[in-house]
Amino acid sequence: MSDPVSALNGARFDGIASVEEAGLCGMITLRGDFASAGFAAAVNSITGAALPEVGRIAEGTEGAAAWMSTDELLLMVPYAEVEARLAALNEALKGEHALAVNASDARAVFRISGDGARETLAKVAPVDLSAEAFQPGDFRRSRMAQVAGAFWLNGEGTFTVVCFRSVGEYVFKLLSASAHPQSAVGIYKA
């Protein structure tokens, strides 16, 4: 078996924020009926997470579940276990009207950390990223300049950004330019 390699091999840029490629991340796209108890139980069985509220990400003991739309979740699990978890999920979903697919290798993942993290992302996405508006656990699908992307914020002030692998290099260069030391605007300075 060949060695899986992430889109940019851990590329990193340090400016007003640090932008780094997060490496391989197991991701399962799951669609189904959120109102079904069996659906929620299946999500919980492979992530340990409850169903996320609208626009939020729910962290679990074994992974995380993010709200993508009214009938779609993004489940995050360790990359090495994604096939096994997908099989377990499909088993748990027996009888449910649902569809799950491993999307791990279709994606690139970045982390933006440091004081300028909110500003770095705000410059390229049409989203209010002020501390009042965008809080830890918030999850947002939007666009980053010209391409689609999704991101969420954790309790340490670090954003995780997910985009298609095919535009991984574009997003890395975009975020790096946005984090350039001479590009600081200071809009979210306390």
Partner 1 sequence: MLILECPYCGVKAEETELHAGGEAHLKRFGPGSTDGEFHDYLFMRENPKGVHFERWRHANGCGKWFHAARCTMTLEVFGTYSAQTFEPPQEIRDAITAKRPGWTWRDLK
By CB under 8 A, name the binding residues for partner 1.
Answer: 54-55, 67-70, 72, 126, 140-143, 148
Measured CA to CA, the distance from residue 95 to residue 175 in angstroms comes to 43
Nearer to partner 1, 80 or 142 (CB): 142
| Residue whose entry in the numeric block shows the structure tokens 């989203």 | 127
Tell me if 92 sits within 8 A of 100, measured CB to CB: no
Least Cβ distance, residue 67 to partner 1 (angstroms): 8
Measured CA to CA, the distance from residue 143 to residue 141 in angstroms comes to 7
Nearer to partner 1, 55 or 114 (CB): 55
Least Cβ distance, residue 150 to partner 1 (angstroms): 9
Element housing 152 (H / E) = strand 147-153
Nearer to partner 1, 85 or 140 (CB): 140
Least Cβ distance, residue 141 to partner 1 (angstroms): 5
Least Cβ distance, residue 149 to partner 1 (angstroms): 9
Nearer to partner 1, 61 or 70 (CB): 70
Cβ neighbours, 10 Å, residue 141? 17
| Residue whose entry in the numeric block shows the structure tokens 């929620």 | 40
Residue of 99, 79, 74 whose CA lies nearest to 150: 74
Least Cβ distance, residue 58 to partner 1 (angstroms): 16
Nearer to partner 1, 69 or 135 (CB): 69
Tell me if 6 sits within 8 A of 24, measured CB to CB: yes
